[in-house]
Structure 1
Amino acid sequence: MDDLLRISDILKKYKEEKYKSNHNDEKKPAPEEANLRQKPHISIYSAVAKDLGENQETNINAQALYDEALSRIKEIYTRGETKKTNGDFYSLVLPTIEKLADALIAGNRELLRYSLSDYSQMSEYLFAHPVNVCIISLYLAIGLDYPRSRLIELGISALIHDVGMPFYAQIVNQGRILNNAEFARVKEHPQQGYDVLQEIGKGLSPIIYETVRQEHERWNGSGYPLGLKAEQINPYAQVVGLVDVYEAMTHTRPYRRRHNAMEVIREILHHKDAFNSSYIKVLIERIGIFPVGWIVQLNTKEIAVVVKANPRMPLRPVVDIVMDSSGKELQTPKKINLAEDAAIYIEQCLECLMVKNK
């Protein structure tokens, strides 16, 4: 553990360049919104940050876009709880989803890294969770070759998939595992969300309503509320349902620590009959066993940061080496595609160990 802290302390000295010159005039996010998303606890210097998705060519401010999505889900939840129908619901969510989809299509990985980072305020996870599920779902769907029109529908579905959950916030925010009666109540939220959308979501495509109701259905028929199975579950609900589980397990909850990505993939594979196998494959290929931004130790004893997944070889991502085998910091990171160098491989995931010891 002391070695992990030493590595963390060394890397923390470097500051990521979050605001590029072309973003200087943009409005900064409200403090309460910015705090909902916690940056990875290990900072990486600017050259690595660029590899992780600071894509100047696409002129995308990922932080501002993430915070915009947080604002949207707050407003949606408020409308849902109060049953307010003021304004056009579709027009409220469409611009944000279009920007998220276009940013991910353009190759921005910073949004993905935000969605894989843990929450900083547990009391606010109900807002950050659907934003993360939306981003990850869009990222997976791009790997499924969804056209832009379907990405937009999926993105809206994913962002509002838990619109019924605020009605059960007092139950799920307890700092303990729910008892059977409480869990039975919470399992009502997909139908509650479907009912709420009938009032506040006029004009949405029928498949969006159904995705909200079906995202807890499972391929083997073990889900709820309708006990649907296999192709009875619409494709959007299949994607969102898988991502919902992945996001929830890789993030902290009031009653437990977060799990690392390897633990979560292992658990999903253990229950693989609950999900569409082709979507599990895409999840592993797109996110990888070692997610973007995670810290790993190579067999050469060098310390590296994962900067890109290799879809065909998820155990061999592209990494930037930031410390040599003696623990000396590199002023300029050394990029290695592990898929192209069989002699070098990841020996252990330091980020996983840090998660376990948090």
Structure 2
Amino acid sequence: MHRTIRADQLLPGMYVHRVAGAWLDSPFWRRSFIADAEAVARIRASGVPELVIDVELGLVPAESASSPPADPACPRKDVTAPPASPPDPSLLTAPAPAALRAAGTASPATSFETEVRNARQLLESGRALVEAMFGEARLGRVVDTDVATPLIDALCDSVLRNPHALVSLARLKTADAYTYLHSMAVAGLMATLAGRLGLPEDAVHAAAKGGLLHDMGKAVTPAHVLNKAGSLTDEEQGVMRSHPEDGHRLLVESGMDHAAALDIVLHHHEKMDGSGYPHGLSGDGISQMARMAAVCDVYDAITSDRPYKRGWCPAESLKRMASWSGHFDPVIFQAFVKSVGIYPIGTLVRLQSQQLAVVIEQAPAALLKPRVRVFHCARRKARVLIRDLDLSFAGCDDHIVQSEAPCDWGLRDLEKLWLP
């Protein structure tokens, strides 16, 4: 049972389910935790007005006679609450058990439309933070990665509520924002993939953290190489390939000691057949996290518009990635496809009825039958009345024949059809 209390009512041993206010205002990267003495002090010093506690997972606050009932529909009995007993001393330092952490951090599912609105605000706020970290690195200053922990937690929460909204929205990048939004997109994809693989909560956060920081080395890559429109020379290719080691060095010099995240930064360009860089690792010599990052990094890169090329459509990108023998871990790649969908949101498809549609929602139990928005007749080459069609519905007799390239149909703003 959840109850909202004032910050000055928080006591050690209470289970904090959620801190009120914007994620950036919270002094904690986790939304849910057992409060200890230090946490109580930080909450009270932060200016956070209220928080939500779970009275079934932690201590229950004493209620005064003037306190409102927890449920307005069920008036409180006219009794005097017993005085609060002092908390068990072991609760002051003991971390929450894994089961309690899992129970407390589950976010309620939201629709794609609702979560896109949340994701827009998150990406806008997060871009400024990521840009500031890159700026510090570019100036040779120490990078404080701890400031990113609230953002990482917010990214994880977003993909838990809806795994498609943030990563679909982040795919729409402008050239000047590419590096920063790419970092957040990869973090979101990593969290989504980690959840699909059934990894524990701390591993999901580690995956997201590594995804957010994976390209930190590009902060010191010369702009003329990073944004070059044409092919890179051998020398420029060598400069570009130094960014994993540059990022690893920058973060270690800044005092970061998160092993999993550092491994992602250093090895996200390794390939299963040993042809990757910087160390030419292969097979099991590449950690699971780095193998995950290799998939997420490439997918977001090739589906995004870059200074030197237009992005491929999501479904075509997955098809091409599947054909790159020796590049990706096949088990991880299969899990990734299941997490984003065979026809990811925003994919232009041709139906058996010769109508064009854009994918607007996934059907988790039927990856080949998403919900689509029909808007064009391919046979007559004319627009039709827009309508939504659930291909997984038992009575639907239409199905996807193939994905289509928007440029072949002169479509440059396809997102206007699927973005709320």
| Aligned match of 2:59 | none
Residue 304 (structure 2) aligns with: 251
Say yes or no: does 1:95 pair with 2:145: no
Q: Which protein is richer in helix relative to its size?
A: 1
The correspondence for 2:282, drawn from 229, 232, 242, is 229
CA distance in 1, matches of 2:409, 2:300: 15
By relative contact order (CA 8 Å, sep 6+), the higher-ranking structure is 1
Which of the numbers 93, 112, 134 marks the counterpart of 1:77?
134
Matched AA of 1:260: C
Asked which structure has the greater CA Rg, the reply is 2
2:171 equivalent to 1:116: yes
What is the deviation of 1:182? 0.7
Runs of at least 5 residues in structure 2 that lack an aligned partner in the other structure: 1-20, 23-109, 413-420
Looking at structure 2, the residues matched to 197 and 357 of structure 1 have their Cα atoms a distance apart, in angstroms, of 42
Amino acid in structure 1 at the alignment position of 2:149: L
What does the per-residue CA deviation read over 1:272-322, in whole Å, with 9 as the maximum and x for residues that have no partner?
A: 322111111122222223211334342234454323234564332232446
The 8 Å contact of residues 259 and 356 in structure 1, kept in 2 or not, is answered as no
**Alignment partner of 1:54 is 2:114:** yes
SS in structure 2 of the partner of residue 244 of structure 1: helix
Q: Deviations over 1:188-226 (max 9, x none)?
A: 1100101000122x2441221121001111111111111
Does 1:193 find its partner at 2:247?
yes
CA drift of 1:250 comes to 1.1
Residue in 1 that maps onto 2:385: 329
Check the 8 A contact 2:350/2:402 in 1, yes or no: yes
CA 69–204 in structure 1, closer or farther in 2 if over 3 Å, else same? farther
Tell me the distance in 2 between the aligned counterparts of 1:61 and 1:189: 32
Q: Which of 171, 174, 182 is matched with 2:225 structurally?
A: 171
Structure 1 unaligned residues grouped into runs of 5+:
1-24, 27-49
Amino acid at match of 1:198: V
Structure 1 residue 263 displacement after superposition: 2.9
Per-residue CA deviations over 1:256-284 (Å, capped at 9, x if unaligned) read: 22212233223212213221111111222
Residue pair 2:390, 2:396 contacting (<8 A) in 1 also: no
Query: 3-state DSSP class of the match of 2:274?
Result: coil
Distance across 2 between alignment mates of 1:324 and 1:350: 13
1:293 paired residue among 341, 346, 370? 346
Match of 1:181 in 2: 235
Instruction: Give distance in 2, aligned partners of 1:116 and 1:354.
Output: 20
Shift of 1:110: 2.1
Match of 2:276, SS state, is coil
Q: Give me the whole-angstrom Cα distance separating, in 1, the residues matched to 2:333 and 2:190.
A: 12
Residue type of the partner of 1:344? D
Q: Secondary structure at the match of 1:54?
A: helix
Give 1:66's aligned amino acid.
L
1:206-285 alignment, distance < 5 Å: 206-285=259-338
Q: How does 1:127-166 map to 2 (within 5 A)?
A: 127-166=180-219
Once residues 257 and 133 of structure 2 are traced to their aligned partners in structure 1, the CA distance between those partners, rounded to angstroms, is 14
The alignment's TM-score, normalised by the length of structure 1, stands at: 0.75
Q: Which amino acid aligns with 2:385?
A: E
- C-alpha separation in 1, matches of 2:330 and 2:159: 24
**CA distance in structure 2 between the aligned counterparts of 1:256 and 1:283, rounded to whole angstroms:** 24
What is the CA deviation profile of residues 118-144 of structure 1, one whole-angstrom value per residue up to 9, with x for unaligned ones? x23x23322222122111222222211
User: What code does the residue aligned with 2:229 have?
Assistant: G
CA-atom RMSD in angstroms: 2.9
SS in 2 for 1:307: strand
With the length of structure 2 as denominator, give the TM-score of the two structures.
0.65
Mapped contact 1:313–1:339 kept (Cα < 8 A): no
Q: How far apart are 1:328 and its partner, in Å?
A: 3.9
Contact 1:123 1:173 (8 Å CA) reproduced? no
Is residue 116–residue 250 contact of structure 1 (8 Å, CA) maintained in 2? yes
Distance, in Å, in 2 between the alignment partners of 1:156 and 1:276 is 21
* Structure 1 letter corresponding to 2:204: L
Q: Percent identity?
A: 22
Determine the C-alpha separation between the residues in 2 that align with 1:303 and 1:126. Answer: 32
Inter-CA distance 191–238: structure 2 relative to 1 (3 Å threshold): same
- Rounded Cα–Cα distance in structure 1 between residues aligned with 2:373 and 2:272: 38
CA distance in 2, matches of 1:310, 1:144: 18
Render the CA deviation track for 1:46-104: whole Å, top value 9, x for unaligned.
xxxx9533249xxx721111112212211111122223237x522x0110010110121
